[in-house]
Amino acid sequence: MEKSEQTIFTEGEFYQAHFDPKTYLNSFFSLPQGHCEENYLELELRQLTNTFKTGKWKGKRLIEIGSGPSIVSLISACEHFEEIVMSDFADRNRQEIESWLREDEGCFDWDPIIQFVCKLEGNRTPMEVKVRLRQTVKQVLMCDVRLENPFEPLEVEPADCVVTTLCLEAACKDLDIYQRALQSLKALLKPGGVLVMTGALNETFYMVGGQRFSCLPLSKDIVQGMLRNLGFSIEHFNLLPIQERYEKLISDFDGIFHVVACKPA
């Protein structure tokens, strides 16, 4: 590993230049089981399904921060909101989402993932999900979580729900920036709105193809403490078990958290 890889945190500008969404999707999202060296994806699909299938969290608008090129976080959620705003810093990630929304020839095939979620839910078909999600996503915006308003210069109407998955720890190079990003997400919520967030614990890097990307190491105590300091009421904080890995070649996280937290009414 070159010294520059150890010392330079790969922020949004690095993603813009070096992140390959097609390699990422093919490596991590071709099957519900995810990458062969990790068991993260299936666990998170189950968490997201359990969070949204009850219908407790619903409303007019959902905002997803840092969607990447993926629709995974919205498969269950889309049934319960009238409109969805997706977002990412990197142009090619947003283009990949838009390609799927338009049903372009050659767009990524999400059917295996959607079919898995439909089996978990037990009440929708994959076609119903695809039609609903394509109808519900109204905007795919550029966002930068390091800014007080991630959508600057746009002003986006506050949401009933904000979702973010494996984004903040990859975008924020230190804890001060991470805390400010959480504050920005709180500002995007209506009073009483809900934050649904998934993140990696103690992760310093992950690989996409041969490219290394940085992560900010987080602990359960750090994340819970910051949310509570911002006034959130934590409804659920689930730690997802990760299988033991003898060689951490793709990433080095040792756990995944899934948190549901409410902004004060």
Domain locations along the chain? 3-262
pLDDT of 23-66, one tens digit each?
999 999 987 765 545 567 888 999 999 999 989 999 999 999 99
Q: How many residues does the chain have?
A: 265
Q: Would you say residue 83 has pLDDT above 90?
A: yes
pLDDT at 4: 37
The per-residue DSSP string of 130-196 comes to HHHHHHHEEEEEE--TTSSSTTTT-----EEEEEEES-HHHH-SSHHHHHHHHHHHHHTEEEEEEEE
- CATH classification of 3-262, choosing from 3.40.50.2300, 3.30.70.600, 3.40.50.150, 3.40.47.10? 3.40.50.150
Residue 246 in this model has a pLDDT that exceeds 70: no
More confident residue, 251 or 89: 89
What pLDDT, on the 0 to 100 scale, is given for residue 1? 38
Question: Dihedral sign, CA of 33, 35, 38, 44?
Answer: negative
Per-residue burial over 155-174, b if 16 or more Cβ lie within 10 Å, else e, is: ebebbbbbbbbbbbbbbbbe
Q: Which tens digits make up the pLDDT trace of 153-210?
A: 999 999 999 999 999 999 999 999 999 999 999 999 999 999 999 999 999 999 999 9
What gap in Å lies between CA 206 and CA 214, rounded to an integer? 7
What is the pTM (predicted TM-score) of this model?
Answer: 0.94
Q: Is 220's pLDDT higher than 90? A: yes
Nearest to 198 by CA among 237, 234, 172: 237
Residues making up the annotated binding site for S-adenosyl-L-methionine are 24, 66-67, 88, 93, 144-145
Please state the residue numbers annotated as binding site. 24, 66-67, 88, 93, 144-145
